[in-house]
Chain A
């Protein structure tokens, strides 16, 4: 037990370091951006009609003339006190903006996450078990094709097929247009999340499937599967009893590692589907020079991705008898 705690403690320390690094990187990239927040948000024409004082006030609001180091340290100091600041574009606390957006995105990402895991594992196991056969070639070909397809392009293709030609699914947004927020049903939300979730799951699925396939092949070539066969176990029993059990551990790692891909993919996919989620807010904040919001989103996303890895490690300890029994004895 003690060393589990130590293990978790170490992980949290590493997480803090990581978040610091990520926020600094995002800040530096933003500082180096050639986009002038005044030009993009206020507009060239409007700026021309303004007085010097008005412009100076705007410059102060957007923090244009503040030395970068001071600006970053100021932000960091607030964050340590638990204050993520106020979004410059939305004029709301960053936590509130992120909370709202995350609620929309979470549907999408959770659906994509579960779907890519289920699909990836099933296809990977199937391909591995039927190595070299037509099914395997089909699955492998499809996965390779998908993993070399950019997410936004896939989004556009699906949009064309399902929303434009077949007209069976909505082309964008998280809820129907012109409907009172109170009367939006869960069904509406799901209906609007289908296409983006499908696209998003396709970015994570091929990796899971291909890795699971490799592992499955290793397992089926192992001594213990040979022995199971020597003891008269059927192919079905070998697959279910030994195959799934032994691909489960790597599958956990893959499943949680794919969270980062889904976060990354959501930025582009939400853009294509005009889905008001976290990814879209990140794009808006980045292009509009909304530093507090962008840093907030970066830190929250990194924290979620990192928590995913942490959960994977902890789950590993529960599932893997070597760690579990070892820990019990220590």
Chain B
């Protein structure tokens, strides 16, 4: 089956000027690859500041002006050029952004959902979609500051669902919510996937991601290090040492912290960025590491888990 979205070797970098004249290129995302098919929830897991929001904005073609993007984006089999992204966003491709600050503070919810349309049809649609997420009619008249955290999340999801998207990108949709509320919100995404959308769920929370995702792409220092099935995690079929370490760090699995820190943008040396923290590192980890197929998923590691310890 043709994937809805294919990201191949995507890189996003910023041009910064230091001291007025010294130009510096700061790579935030370096070699990111993933695929999303229709009806599937794919989680992208990466730590805070690793470039997750930039990935979302890059796909939508709304990166800031001082950034450059390279690599391939394929949407429904065709290259997703900036022009095509501009046509598709708000129609086939929808974003659920990271927080309430993404709503206009001076505009009521209703007009925000309707995006300037005033006809009766638009009214009926916005009312129906709010109702679908358990928000009453009065929500239309509310300003963003009058919404609770959970209501604001649901408004943001409603705004995406209103478009009946083929690809939905949800950027960190649950922080600040308790486990039950977060579970309900994630349930909405699973529901949208069942209706046929491909859902890209961006989060730093592996545990939460595993509750609804079919597949998980793990992101380290701007690179995809592994693409695994959700079922691989409990089954012990993980491929990359970092993924394994993330899994082991979860409360239910030993709570073992990973020592050291992730290199920030521009701090990575050559070779595998995880090598300094890796129990399985070897001399050849200092070279170039390709992303290879392994056990139905993909891994960027020369000495993956399950293989011989070097």
Contacts and interface: CB of A to CB of B under 8 A. Distances in A.
B95 interface: yes
With a 10 A CB-CB cut-off, give which of A230, A231, A320, A325 has the most chain B CB atoms.
A230
A226 B58 CA distance: 12
B304 interface: no
B145 A233 contact: no
A232 interface: yes
B123 interface: no
Mostly helix, strand, loop or mixed at chain A's interface? helix
B101 A231 contact: no
Interface in B86-122: 86, 89-91, 94-95, 97, 99, 101-107, 115-116
Contacts of A227: 95, 97, 102-103
A81 interface: no
Nearest to A324: B143
B57 interface: yes
B106 A246 contact: yes
Mostly helix, strand, loop or mixed at chain B's interface? loop
B159 A321 contact: no
A230 B90 contact: yes
A245 interface: yes
B159 A231 contact: yes
Nearest to B145: A322
Contacts of B105: 224, 246
Interface string B46-72: 000000000001001010000000000
Contacts of B107: 241-242, 245
Contact of B90 (A232, A249, A325): A232
A119 B116 CA distance: 27
A226 B91 contact: no
Contacts of A54: none
Nearest to A320: B106
B131 interface: no
With a 10 A CB-CB cut-off, give which of B90, B103, B159 has the most chain A CB atoms.
B90
Interface in A238-257: 241-242, 245-246, 248-249
A137 interface: no
Interface in A194-245: 222-224, 226-233, 237, 241-242, 245
A241 B86 CA distance: 19
A226 B57 contact: yes
Nearest to A230: B95
Contacts of B102: 223-224, 226-227
B57 A228 contact: no
Given A224-B102, A321-B143, A325-B143, A231 B89 contact: yes
Q: 10 nearest interchain CB pairs? A: A232-B90, A227-B102, A231-B90, A230-B95, A223-B101, A224-B104, A223-B102, A321-B143, A229-B62, A245-B106
14 contacts: A222-B101, A224-B104, A226-B57, A229-B62, A230-B95, A231-B95, A231-B115, A231-B159, A232-B86, A232-B90, A245-B106, A245-B107, A246-B105, A248-B106
